[in-house]
């Protein structure tokens, strides 16, 4: 999942070398934090949040059924 999010984020931004995805896993959830360059935040969010929502949907579809998956965007 982490690799999927990293691939999607790098394909959307201009500063690909500044894309980092951190994975934090607990007993019943997985948190994926995407960190990008400040100029690329809008490209990850998309118009009306459509791009980040699509990323979250793809991650949710590929996630294990027993865990809740959260995708957050940080600067």
In this prediction, residue 74 carries a pLDDT of 86
Cα first-last separation, the chain: 20
Which residue ranges make up each domain of the chain? Answer: 2-74
- Rg for the chain (alpha carbons), in Å? 12
Please report which helix (H) or strand (E) contains residue 71, including its range: strand 68-74
- Round to whole Å and give the CA distance between 23 and 33: 7
Beta pairing class for 20-25 and 29-35? antiparallel
pTM > 0.95: yes or no? no
The CATH code that applies to domain 2-74 is 3.30.300.20
| pLDDT < 70 regions, the chain | none
- Round to whole Å and give the CA distance between 17 and 36: 9
């Amino acid at each position: 999942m982490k690799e999927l999010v990293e691939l999607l984020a790098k394909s959307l931004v201009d500063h690909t070398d500044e894309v980092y995805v951190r994975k934090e896993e607990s007993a019943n959830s997985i948190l994926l934090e995407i960190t990008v360059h400040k100029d690329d935040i809008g490209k990850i969010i998309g118009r009306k949040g459509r791009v980040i929502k699509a990323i979250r949907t793809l991650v949710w579809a590929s996630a294990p059924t027993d865990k809740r998956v959260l995708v957050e965007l940080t600067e």
